[in-house]
Amino acid sequence: MALLTHLLVCTFGMGSWVAISGLWVELPLLVTELPEGWYLPSYLTVIIQLANVGPLLFTLLHHFRPGSVSEVPIIFAILGVGTVTCTLFAFLWNVTSWVQGSHHSITFMVLTFFLALVDCTSSVTFLPFMSQLPTHYLTTFFVGEGLSGLLPALVALAQGSGLTTCVNVTETPSTTSSPNTTRKTDIPQGNNSTPVPGFAGVASSMVHLESRYLPANFSPLVFFLLLSFMMACCLLAFFFLQRHPRHWKTSTEDLLTSQITLHSIRPLKEDLVPPGPVDSSTSQEHVEEKTRPSFPAQLLFTYVLVAFVNALTNGVLPSVQTYSCLSYGPVAYHLSATLSSMANPLACFISVFLPNRSLLFLGVLTVLGSGFGAYNMAMAVMSPCPLMQGHWSGEVFIVASWVLFTGCLSYVKVMLGVILHDRSRSALLWCGAAVQLGSLLGALLMFPLVNVWRIFSSADFCTPQCSV
């Protein structure tokens, strides 16, 4: 029965970010057909941050009217909305609208907002719900949250999303039109841009390499239907968790231990008072106040660490992963993306056997992970000519750096969640708020750097731009 509960919790945790993660890994296929092209990720970044209105509203209601809103119906609602939205994506993702003289993907952006609303709100509802279960299930929840990024990445890898190849292209000046007109012809092989002699009276042509996307193994329709199936599994897992009485009873005993103790030693004259109506929400808040140790400096440090780690993992570094890896080739990029996605649930799994709640240790591990993140950022800034480009050691270093960056900070996130779980339900809710705040600040920091000032330069592995 405990194994079944772990499976349900893991599947439930997978619903936290599986939809948005799936949308991001599918972008290389979508941008080739949508009118916004590669400007689409910039629009999505803004839309996803606008969806933070959901967790903001829930957090404000919890703060000003505690006990007035339960997370259970909200979780049912957002998982249902996520399942329906993924299904609509399958059939409407390429629908465009004519706005101000050009086509725009209005339907795509509206559906993206609802998916982002689901995933952002999950940060402040899933964690408080997990406070009703024993602490060891929280690690399983974080494993599922890690799988929410890994599973869509594996599906996209099987689909062939974003895989490119180098093809030779021949550019020949046309003799029947203006001098600037060129004709492109794909030819099988070649290594460099080479002038090709033409026929008599015809100018010589130029051969060079260009990147071309390989055809996908299955369409975005199938991909989004698979995402919808994953969301439906999360909804079913939550439904069965709600109908799991044994663990609810155990968890209630864990949460109310202090109340039982206080009840057993209260004065006799209190036992003589006639019983009256009891407000469960007030009782829960009272229990939290009794069991909550008062270390404001440590608590503040914990929340700052949560926000900082999530700013790096959800906002800052994902914005530059392509810039830091593509200079080393498509193989290095796909290995770093896939293996770093695997490092997330693996780090959560390791925390089950090697837990360490020391804030000093977690702070040191955060510094170590930030060091790997700094190396990734430095290679992104140096793109398209990073260190050790063209050598196998450069590829090994960048892949290992991304894996260790994700693994270290994923472990920190899990242990911080466990620490806050042992404090109270409200601590987990504010933990979710800190997660969203950090992610928002990281995205807002990187958006102007990437899209306005453009301090990062893309690399085309097929056309080297660096001197040897």
pLDDT tens, position by position, 117-157: 998 899 889 988 988 888 888 889 988 988 888 899 889 88
Contact criterion met (CB below 8 Å) for 17 and 148 = yes
pLDDT band at 405 (very low <50, low <70, confident <90, very high): very high
Instruction: Give the whole-angstrom CA distance, residue 220 versus residue 316.
Output: 27
Average pLDDT value for residue range 188-216: 58
Residue 382 CB neighbour total at 10 angstroms: 17
Q: What is the pLDDT of residue 86?
A: 95
Q: What is the pLDDT of residue 257?
A: 41
* Most confident among 142-146, 186-190, 219-223, 342-346 (mean pLDDT): 219-223
Q: What is the pLDDT of residue 13?
A: 92
Q: Is the pLDDT of residue 42 over 90?
A: no
Q: Is the pLDDT of residue 286 over 70?
A: no
pLDDT band at 314 (very low <50, low <70, confident <90, very high): confident
Answering whether pTM is above 0.75, one says no
Average pLDDT value for residue range 329-355: 84
Structure-model confidence comparison of residues 297 and 285, the more confident one:
297
pLDDT band at 264 (very low <50, low <70, confident <90, very high): very low
Q: What is the DSSP letter of 211?
A: E
Q: Which of 140-149, 221-230, 284-293 has the lowest mean pLDDT?
A: 284-293
Q: Is the pLDDT of residue 258 over 80?
A: no
Q: What is the pLDDT of residue 204?
A: 56
Average pLDDT, the chain: 79
Instruction: Give the whole-angstrom CA distance, residue 324 versus residue 327.
Output: 7
pLDDT band at 265 (very low <50, low <70, confident <90, very high): very low
Structure-model confidence comparison of residues 132 and 86, the more confident one:
86
Sequence-ordered list of residues with C-beta below 8 angstroms from that of 123, at least 6 positions apart, any chain: 16, 55, 432, 433, 435, 436
Q: What is the pLDDT of residue 467?
A: 63
Q: What is the pLDDT of residue 172?
A: 65
Average pLDDT value for residue range 343-359: 86
Structure-model confidence comparison of residues 176 and 29, the more confident one:
29
* Torsions phi, psi for 374 (to 5 deg): -65, -40
Instruction: Give the whole-angstrom CA distance, residue 317 versus residue 445.
Output: 11
Q: What is the pLDDT of residue 379?
A: 94
Residue 337 CB neighbour total at 10 angstroms: 21
Contact criterion met (CB below 8 Å) for 123 and 435 = yes
Ramachandran region of residue 291, left (φ > 0), alpha (ψ -120 to 50) or beta? alpha
Q: Is the pLDDT of residue 365 over 70?
A: yes
Structure-model confidence comparison of residues 255 and 420, the more confident one:
420
